[in-house]
């Protein structure tokens, strides 16, 4: 599908065809993130990130990437009106 770049004020715009907007569930006023890369321009719905595989996520886990919990609840002293 080919679309034409149009000049609007000091910017340029591309009209997203109705069939594509329907397929992607795009609605008027919906914010999109735009980025440019070597492959071209990418539009994404805000808040969505590319999916990563579980193996990729697990491979990045290291002992330094999480906090060890050594503090025990029994070590806490009563605070405020807890003493009765």
Task: Classify domain 5-64 at the CATH topology level.
Answer: Pemi-like Protein 1; Chain: D (2.10.260)
Closest Cα partner for 13 from 41, 37, 44, 38?
41
Structure tokens, 59: 């491979």
Q: What is the mean pLDDT of each run of 10 residues along the chain (84 residues)?
A: 92 93 91 90 80 87 71 64 66
The conformation of residue 64, written as its DSSP 8-state character, comes to G
Cα distance between residue 22 and residue 61, in whole Å: 39
pTM tops 0.85: no
């Amino acid at each position: 599908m080919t679309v034409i770049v149009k000049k609007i004020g000091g910017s340029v715009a591309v009209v997203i065809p109705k069939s594509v907007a329907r397929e992607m569930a795009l609605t008027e006023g919906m914010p999109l993130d735009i980025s440019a890369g070597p492959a071209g321009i990418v539009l994404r719905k805000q808040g969505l990130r590319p999916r990563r595989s579980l193996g990729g996520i697990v491979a990045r886990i290291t002992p330094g990437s999480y906090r060890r919990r050594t503090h025990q609840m029994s070590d806490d002293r009563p605070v405020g009106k807890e003493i009765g």
